[in-house]
A = this chain, B = another copy of it.
């Protein structure tokens, strides 16, 4: 069986997924939809697929699954429509910026018995995957303390920030999901500190660019997340997990593995500085995992519930900053 895909949205991330679909065995790209004709034509030209409207894809008998890469504020509506249309759904995070709206959307998905996978690409990165495998194999004993360092090379444009829901919802959300991935136990409390250090314009929008978060589970496991919107040395993506018997860490990635030595010292190149090059393998593996789940009728590795919890953690962090206190996740979810 070959899974026939429609991709909604031919922007940057839509093209990433189109490419992943085209090179995944058991998957074929049938149609692309985008209000910007040129963007749709680029994808159609590269992969030989149809250009259709969202409505046409919704009604199409030759499309089994959709990948939603449209603007965030359309995600939950599209999920509901395609759940009702009987399509398997892969949606980029977040499902919505409102926890309440996400809950309603997930009810529709559940009622329709639709398959929904939410795109947390980092879980599919081979390096973080190997780290998780080491934990699961018992190589560090019981997980105790996690440190996630996640820094973007540079801040996004202000107009993105004004629509993104802010740093916790657009950036830390990936780290919240990673924390859940490696902690192996649900998070109970959140506390956070937030500053504007990179760009005062970000502060004017009511957002932050430099944050630290402490997460804690019921049994006392803890995770620290440290984020910045600026890292001159590249895209800094590290995870370190301390357990009762040892530690496992996933290091950063470079394009080339060379070192230059001279009187100034020993210098290795900066890190890969773009999420699309850093996570190339992850995006491919993510789509393959979705194809596998749909084909085998199994639960996808990252569900709507995962999307909901990550968003609630972001809201909890914001609340913690606003009120200067430890926030229980249940305050947001119940």
Contact = CB atoms under 8 A, between A and B. Distances in A.
Given A193-B214, A228-B145, A242-B228, A140 B326 contact: no
Contacts of A149: 147
A231 interface: yes
A261 B216 CA distance: 23
A303 interface: no
Given A195-B222, A221-B197, A325-B326, A265 B267 contact: yes
A195 B265 CA distance: 26
Interface string A116-131: 0000000000110111
A252 interface: yes
A226 B228 contact: no
Interface stretch (A96-104, A168-176, A243-251, A294-302): A243-251
Interface residues of A, number: 68
Interface string A190-228: 011101111000000000001110101001111010101
A23 to B, nearest CB: 8
B232 A263 contact: yes
Contacts of A274: none
A259 B263 contact: no
Contacts of A142: 197
B220 A210 contact: yes
A259 B251 contact: yes
B127 A256 contact: yes
A324 B252 CA distance: 34
A87 interface: no
Interface string A254-273: 01111111111111111000
Given A233-B265, A261-B233, A224 B212 contact: yes
Given A127-B256, A212-B224, A228-B145, A247 B262 contact: yes
Nearest to A253: B257
Contact of A264 (B196, B211, B270): B270
A228 to B, nearest CB: 6
A233 B134 contact: no
Contacts of A50: none
Contacts of A266: 233, 267-270
Contacts of A191: 191, 193, 214, 326
B258 A131 contact: yes
A17 interface: no
Nearest to A270: B265
A186 interface: no
Contact of A259 (B145, B248, B269, B324): B248
**Pairs A-B, 4 closest by C-beta atoms:** A195-B220, A246-B262, A233-B261, A324-B326
Given A126-B255, A249-B258, 14 more contacts: A127-B258, A145-B226, A191-B214, A193-B216, A197-B219, A197-B221, A210-B220, A224-B226, A247-B261, A249-B259, A249-B261, A253-B257, A261-B270, A325-B326
